Amino acid sequence: MKKLRVLALMHEDLIPPEHLNGHNLATAEWKTEYDVVSTLRKMGHEVRPLGVRNDLEVIRKAIEEWKPHIAFNLLEEFDGVSVYDLSYHRISTPEFSLFPLGQSIKRPKHLSFPLIVKSVSEEASLGISQASIVEDDDKLRERVAFIHNSVETGAIVERYIEGRELYVGVLGNRKLQVLPVWELDLNHLPDEARRIATERVKWSHKYQSKYGITSGEAKGLPEGMCEKIQHIAKRVYRILGLSGYARMDLRLEPSGKVYVLEANPNPQIALGEDFADSAKRAGMSYPKFLQRVLNMGLRWQPDRLG
């Protein structure tokens, strides 16, 4: 295996320490960055973390001075705006409507309750809680206003899909590998709670422990459903022109209908998280997974015209 100089791009506030020195890695905001950097170094690669906020000049300078073989992108936003990492392309999703900042809040006739209100550009469930699901126009206006004022982004309002929360990882540039279908188990939430991945569900270890929130390979899917979901994930990946790796977030209704909620081109890849666990289930250790990401990046070429 060739030893590489790897420039690891990350948010400037998430550069991990060289050594843990008493830090609790499980709750550290920079867990993903630490896992990737430390694992690549253990594999023999030379890794230079580079913090980026709103200046591309630091990347150009690092490339010119250090001449890395490849950059490993761990940035989920640039200049505080995460929408830059994926251009919007409409695919089969729940009915929705957008409410930009400053726009009047009036529900379109094609949207029926219940609805879920989210930030149009923020990720990691920021701004999502049980109050995000609304049942009438007053609550809809209230929640959209909350997103506008508190999260300070536009809002997307879409039909709430009751069902199972599924994730599917895809790897590859042209030849694709679809990982096992993964599920976020929300069955132990209080009876009155909607089964959604709120900010607390995703990030509060105390809340996860209290309500037995776990994730693992989806069990008990109807015959042929796993293959259908994996086919949808691969199709979305190709439609959006993705490369390297991405995760598709889906909902499976009790009726068997599948909805694509999001295509995430920069998912959480920390050791022990969904993507790494599903890759392990497919036979890839964490170092093997990271090495494959590097190899795909080295092989990637833009499509040639003509």
- Cis-peptide, bond into residue 114, ω within 30° of zero: yes
CA distance 107 to 111: 7
pLDDT for the residue 124: 55
pLDDT at 122: 66
**pLDDT reported for residue 92:** 66
Q: What is the pLDDT of residue 26?
A: 87
- The whole-angstrom separation of Cα 202 and Cα 154 is 22
The pLDDT score that the predictor gives to residue 306 is: 36
Give the CA angle between residues 229, 74, 119 to the nearest 5°.
Answer: 65
pLDDT averaged over 10-residue windows placed end to end, the chain, 306 residues: 93 92 89 96 97 86 96 78 50 82 86 91 72 94 92 90 95 95 92 85 86 93 96 92 93 93 91 95 97 93 56
Q: C-alpha distances in angstroms, 214 versus 35, 146, 186, 188, 194?
A: 20, 29, 8, 10, 16
Task: Return the structure tokens found at 48.
Answer: 């230079």
Amino acid 78: pLDDT: 63
Distance from C-alpha of 255 to C-alpha of 258, rounded to nearest angstrom: 9
The full set of domains in the chain, from first to last, is 5-82 (no CATH), 96-159 (3.30.1490), 162-299 (3.30.470.20)
Q: What Å distances lie between residue 216 and 79, 185, 292, CA to CA?
A: 34, 8, 22
